[in-house]
A = this chain, B = another copy of it.
Amino acid sequence: MITPERAMRAKAIQLGKLAVEATTSAGSGHPTTALSLAHLATVLMYRVMRWDPKHPDAPGADRLVLSEGHAVPIIYAACADLGVTILPGNHARPMTRDDLMALRSIASPIDGHPNPSLGFPFFDAATGSLGQGLSVAAGLGAAARLDALEKTIYCLIGDGESREGQIWEAMDFIADHRLGNVVAIFNCNTLGQSDFVSPAEDWQHLQRKAEAFGWTALVVDGHDPSAIETALRRRPPGSNGQPLAIIARTVKGWGVPSLGGPGHHGTPVPKSGLAAVLSELDKRAAEQGVANLDPAALAGALAIEPPLPAPASRPAGNPVGFLTALGADPKLAETVRSKRSMAPRRAYGLALQSLGAANPAVVALDADVKNSTHAQDFARAYPERYFEARIAEQNMISAAVGLASGRKIPFASTFGRFLERAFDQVEMGIIGGANLKLVGSHVGVTLASDGPSQMALADIAFMRTFAHVTDFRGNPALTVLTPSDAASTYSMVMAMAVFPSACYLRAVRADLPILYDETESFPFGGHKVLRRPAEGGKRIVLIAAGYLVHSCLKAADALKTQGITAGVVDAYALPLDAAPLLALAGPDGIILSVEDTYVGGLGSELAEAVGQTRAGPRLHVLAVHKVPKSGRTPDDVLAYVHLSVDEIVAAAAGVQ
């Protein structure tokens, strides 16, 4: 009869050995970090977590988020030992020891850092860029609470990693929303990559910080299975309460004196030294009286509790159309009717509220600008599905990743400019295949009065790159949308909600004339020809998105008086199918791309298409080439950056 205590000690050493072997086999990786987690991983995966290795992503299963993703070999070792299901659909099969030893090889789903999209469903999100996991855990905890699932989300965080400010954004967020179903475990092994961690991240400071952030913080010996289990079981049941942080004091390279101290981070044991290291770990087993235990008895002593039953998700209905939604607010409807104009961001709020009514899976987050982005329309109607993220954009995005993994459709909004500080988090979401719905408001220079610190001018260059990356579903990894009126904004938000891959909507602040009927559809990859150029001769086509579509329409009117019939196109989506646009301009034509952002957006998209064609139109790009400043009106700032209607007209006439 093996006690659970002895079984956990034996298993931890077995897993440690496997992790060391795997990294030696790979020729890279982080064996010493993995060894510091050997006992924590064992207690979680073999004793405390309620889950099923055959169905690692069962909705009712407890979850483990490995924020310090480089420690993943210890988790892979457990998954190989337990035969956890890997690979999707028909390819699904139990993970083997051979899979483990194929760590980091090009044909293997056992990647260098956690990534569910490669076929490793035990994980909910890609990690590896540090500081993001606790936010993902928060999103998973929020999703579980909405589904009344009494599961627990465990998150393993490195001590050096806890220097990332995002960790503290997540600590605040979890405390704010009383996500008592999230447990943060700090792995205090005292060593970073290049040195010992700062005293500011030692176990005493981490305990004080966690308490100051409103958490219960327990310090344990991270290599004492019983102490770890006791601490973890002190979490009060229920998903609504004060969160628990475990400060685990551990040893990097545990069990192997030759791997202790600085200088061993991310360094696999050479093949020549492997036997010695493994025998050191065998010695630890012998010293603890857990060497050569009977495998069957060991397995019996470590029975894993099954996941909780999970209700089916509630079905979604059909959201109402733009005019119906508008009609629900008679005052707004009247204003729109009389002015024939409305701000795209206002239409976003209206659309989000309609989605909320139709689909219980739709949730929203915003970073204390909900009255500007109009996410507040949703927040007021569905407060239980709205998560105020406060002024902390990185946590908001990673929390949205967790909500998406928790079977929700998360719309996360703030000024497009402020999403820039979360681009790492956006990319990690894309790497893991998270179905994110991002909304950036106040894009372009027409924000005017607040100045460049609030204007999204480089967001499109970064986001567009992912429009040309194919995700594991076969879709563009990110679809970028810049609507030019309220009706198209509303329609695109509806389309975002049902599209199975990530999207980014760029919502203009200003009131814009309404161009489209509510019946118009806006397929991703498409565009709208608002004016056709004169046939034959040297055609000219003005292409823009958002605010500048209206400037181009005015410019076309002015060109008409000069006898030039220019085409005008609303290029609302990236990626853009450019072929029809090249045909519209014709072989001798000229395309004028007009954009109130820095280069890297629409103009680059068109240039990449035009540059390939020998017999095709030429392209001229009008974009922003200086840092803007405050102006009291959009026209003031557009003139400052040389994008006034007059300058568009002059450019068009000039290239004619």
Contact = CB atoms under 8 A, between A and B. Distances in A.
Given A169-B165, A391-B163, A462 B458 contact: yes
A451 B165 contact: no
Nearest to A458: B465
Given A160-B390, A458-B466, A611 B618 contact: yes
Given A424-B418, A625-B469, A106 B630 contact: yes
A172 B198 contact: yes
A188 to B, nearest CB: 14
B28 A449 contact: yes
A639 B465 CA distance: 20
A464 B462 CA distance: 10
Nearest to A105: B632
Interface string A304-322: 0000000000000000000
Contacts of A470: 625-626
A607 interface: yes
A464 B466 contact: no
A554 interface: no
Contacts of A271: none
A640 B462 contact: no
Contacts of A340: none
A625 B209 CA distance: 43
A614 interface: yes
Nearest to A640: B106
Interface in A597-656: 598-600, 603-604, 606-608, 610-614, 618-621, 623-627, 629-632, 636-637, 639-640
The contact size tier of chain A is 35 or more
Given A26-B449, A427-B420, A598 B468 contact: yes
A582 B610 CA distance: 15
Contacts of A621: 608
A465 to B, nearest CB: 4
A27 interface: yes
A368 B604 CA distance: 36
A458 B466 CA distance: 8
A118 interface: yes
A131 interface: yes
Interface string A410-429: 00000001101111110110
A74 B42 CA distance: 57
Interface string A463-475: 0111011111000
Interface in A154-169: 160-161, 163-169
Contact of A113 (B69, B418, B453, B640): B453
Nearest to A263: B371
Given A129-B453, A607-B604, A619-B611, A424 B427 contact: no
Given A28-B450, A600-B600, A604-B607, A112 B469 contact: no
A626 B391 contact: no
Contacts of A118: 629
Contacts of A96: none
Contacts of A213: 200, 205, 209
Interface stretch (A189-197, A293-301, A329-337): A189-197
A540 interface: no
Contacts of A551: none
A29 B370 CA distance: 18
A462 B418 CA distance: 14
A123 to B, nearest CB: 12
B618 A468 contact: no
A205 to B, nearest CB: 7
Contacts of A175: 200
A131 B391 contact: yes
Contacts of A126: 452-453
Contacts of A370: 194
A441 interface: no
A58 interface: no
Contact of A164 (B112, B165, B201, B640): B165
A115 B451 contact: yes
A208 interface: yes
Contacts of A208: 211-212
B164 A391 contact: yes
A63 to B, nearest CB: 19
Contacts of A198: 172, 176, 390
A612 to B, nearest CB: 6
Contacts of A192: 368, 390-391
A112 B632 CA distance: 10
A370 to B, nearest CB: 5
A446 interface: no
A142 to B, nearest CB: 16
A470 B211 CA distance: 48
A376 B194 contact: yes
Contacts of A636: 105-106
A465 B598 contact: yes
B176 A469 contact: no
A115 B639 CA distance: 20
Contacts of A87: none
28 contacts: A104-B451, A104-B630, A104-B632, A105-B632, A106-B640, A111-B629, A112-B449, A112-B454, A128-B453, A165-B166, A165-B392, A194-B369, A194-B370, A195-B368, A198-B390, A200-B214, A211-B212, A417-B424, A420-B423, A420-B424, A431-B453, A465-B600, A468-B625, A607-B610, A607-B611, A611-B618, A611-B619, A613-B618
Given A106-B636, A108-B630, A130-B391, 20 more contacts: A29-B449, A112-B451, A115-B451, A117-B627, A128-B451, A128-B452, A129-B417, A163-B368, A165-B165, A165-B169, A165-B395, A176-B198, A197-B390, A209-B209, A209-B212, A423-B423, A430-B627, A465-B600, A603-B608, A610-B610
